[in-house]
Amino acid sequence: MTDFDFDLFVIGGGSGGVRAARMSANYGAKVGLAEEFRYGGTCVIRGCVPKKLLVYAASFSQAFADAAGFGWEVGETRFDWSKLRAAKEAEITRLEGVYLGNLESAGVTAFHQHAVVASPHSVRLADGRELSAKHILVATGGVPFVPDIPGRDLAITSNEVFDIERLPERVVIVGGGYIATEFAGIFNGLGSQVTQVYRRDTILRGFDDDVRSHVQQAMRGRGIDILLNQDVAGIEGGAGDLEVHLKSGERRAAGLVLYATGRNPNTAGLGLAEIGVKLGPNGAVAVDAWSQTSVPSIFAVGDVTDRLALTPVAIREGAAFADTVFGANPTKADHALVASAVFSQPEIGTVGMTEAEARASGPIEVYRAVFRPMANILAGRDEQMMMKILVAGDGRPDSRRVLGVHIVGPGAGEMIQLAAIAVKMGATKEDFDRTVAVHPTAAEELVTMRAPVSSRGGLKRRPENPRDQGWPRNPEGC
């Protein structure tokens, strides 16, 4: 007989919290969970799921344009934002119901309200009730960051962008990360004039440099105006009629200004610091490899810990917590070699080290292919696809092991999931080479690149004009 109301109380109904709650309940724990907004968290409600639906919608404009090269005559097209928004809302409402239904079927008691940590073994709900718990799991995710500039209240963030009333003719997006870059492609594909403002010299900081420059060039080729080494001084105007003032003195008119300048862990007002839970400078909950905080009864998973802000990682962390605490199976979440995709246009798939990281670790070989994918040839598009493999060089303990794979182009997210299995297993370049290519596909480039473009920092071989490389590059294989 427990002396607590719950064996586990979870604060936050996103992917990590829900997985931990369900698994813990299935292990026999009595579990409560509080979510103040909607079940499913950022990913399902205002993140990766609705974003991917918008990416699909935006891709039709290119498909319509490309159809003529394949013999189709497409008549006048018209996009209706209100229909897309309604369809998106219906889908996330369905998914929210699935999340809540799964919790309830597992026996989790769900509370639709805000909760804070009152003590190492209790939480306080918005209605004033205080509930005791042997263990508390914080899974409150992150919140968008907007700098303190004049007119900041005139901008929106990724929290609000899915519910705007109408599609603006002109959009200014501030930021250079994956959220800003994805929405630049979405609005551009839906027909808006897009300006992306970034304070550094290349978008997508933290990604491989070849990936960054390739995507940036392709986005400009699609008509997106990317302003680099620029920042916003302030915003003026009213709803739908805004003027963005840049620090350079330049001004841009916009119907909407979207700030995507990063997210911070959502710990403000949760009461964690007051009971001794150690927080990082940006509010992140400090945890060990078991997701345990400085207060032994309190754990945290997902973006609130600022370890690796990806939904599948939060799910793994939540599962590892349940296995460890209630499943008698001590498990640490593995954060190494996690693949990820950016649904920019063109799309990115990446796993492992960037070239800069790989070079810092020792001698490497770089294999790279730049070519027009087959679909672009008849469509008359010049946009290139890029694939890159980083391999540990001779003289290293891990010699010949594939250290990183980076793909830019159609289907990159799907391809990187499968490549990640090989990389995670420790595949060598020779393992890739022994794999028979699937022809005709773009993915076959992953197993047909034979000569490195550079080795140990020196240039070994580089195509004279990568843009002249058509597809297929190996026509005799047909």
- Tally the C-alpha atoms within 13 A of residue 321's C-alpha that lie toward its C-beta: 36
Q: Which amino acid is at 143?
A: V
| Catalytic site includes residue 439 | yes
Q: Which residue's entry shows tokens 């007051």? A: 274
Q: Considering just the CA atoms, what is the radius of gyration of the chain in Å?
A: 24
Q: Measured on CA atoms in the order 422, 428, 430, 431, is the torsion positive or negative?
A: negative
What does 349-361 look like in DSSP terms, one character per residue? EEEE--HHHHHHH
End-to-end CA distance of the chain: 70
Q: Could you tell me which of 442, 453, 339 has the C-alpha nearest to residue 384?
A: 442
Helices (H), 273-401: 311-325, 355-361, 374-379
Long-range contacts from 93-100, C-beta under 8 angstroms, 24+ separation: 95/40, 95/44, 95/49, 96/38, 96/39, 96/40, 96/44, 96/45, 99/13, 99/18, 99/39, 99/40, 99/44, 100/39
Q: So which residues are the catalytic ones? A: 439
